[in-house]
Structure 1
Amino acid sequence: MKTALDLVASAKQLIHEVSVEEADTVIKQADVLIDVRESDEYYSGHIPGAINIPRGLLEFRLSNDEALNRRDLNIVLFCKNSGRSALSAQSLKEMGYLNVTSIAGGFDAWQEANKPIIVPSLPDFG
């Protein structure tokens, strides 16, 4: 029986993954940067310019959003430590997306490299 880690390891054999050092260049060339973490993770901090589409909704959102369903989009994905983004990249590849990249090490590696992050502030309801 395979574990989640086995699935991630298999996915990483089939996808394009870049290091955090290469990520800046790849992000600048991307049509869309997608954070596949859950919403609470996204709102606790994310890479500037990222939109949030949680892993569980990714295939549905890309299929149903005209701005995101072109198969030639240049897509960059990240999550906490690159497991979910690797699985997401593999899934999008299977859907026919041609240019999908995952950031190795994910948001954790991004933060460890002291790269810029955005922490959205919630409105004051008080």
Structure 2
Amino acid sequence: MDQLIEFVTNHYILSGLFAAISVALVYSIIAGQLSSVKDLGTHEATLLMNKEDAYILDIRSVAEFKKGHVLGSKQIKADLVNKADFSPLEKLKDKPIIVICAMGMTSKRTAAQMLKAGFENVVTLKGGFNAWQSANLPITK
């Protein structure tokens, strides 16, 4: 124990960084568990698409969407997403919706906004479009 105290006092910057990273890691794990938005892996997303005819909502930029997107996915305009205006999707409120972004980070915010707007079954693709591509699942241009 004395060595630990000596190390911390001699290397306070390194120890502080270690503590900050540890807190950030614990926070991200707990926040993910408590989030109302659920992440699906590529396998679960494929099952949801095939069995429940899920609507695939791509929120990436137009340029990224044109380079390649999940087969059957639809894109929503970025300004509508920024305003949390999902009126073009009103008829889909009771249908399962999978929100996809590039890496699975920004889709969580959009999915949370959709849940607040009254959509019943909104999930995100864990790892986003990059995970879909890495799994060698079908894409179209």
Deviations for 1:15-57, whole angstroms, at most 9, x for unmatched residues?
0211112111112224421101011110010000001114442
* 1:57 correspondence with 2:60: no
1:16–1:102 contact (8 Å) kept in structure 2 = yes
2:41–2:126 contact (8 Å) kept in structure 1 = yes
**CA distance in structure 2 between the aligned counterparts of 1:88 and 1:56, rounded to whole angstroms:** 12
1:11–1:86 contact (8 Å) kept in structure 2 = no
Give 3-state SS (helix, strand or coil) of 2:114's partner: helix
1:55–1:88 contact (8 Å) kept in structure 2 = no
- Which residue pairs with 1:69 in the alignment? 90
Distance 1:85 1:17, change over 3 A: same
**CA distance in structure 2 between the aligned counterparts of 1:106 and 1:54, rounded to whole angstroms:** 18
Give 3-state SS (helix, strand or coil) of 2:115's partner: helix
Larger Rg: 2
Gaps of 5+ in 1: 1-8, 120-126
Offset at residue 14 of structure 1 (A): 2.1
- Which structure has more RCO (C-alpha within 8 Å, separation ≥ 6)? 1
Segments of 4+ in structure 1 off by > 4 A?
9-12
**Identity of paired residues, percent?**
28
CA-atom RMSD, angstroms? 2.1
**CA distance in structure 1 between the aligned counterparts of 2:44 and 2:95, rounded to whole angstroms:** 19
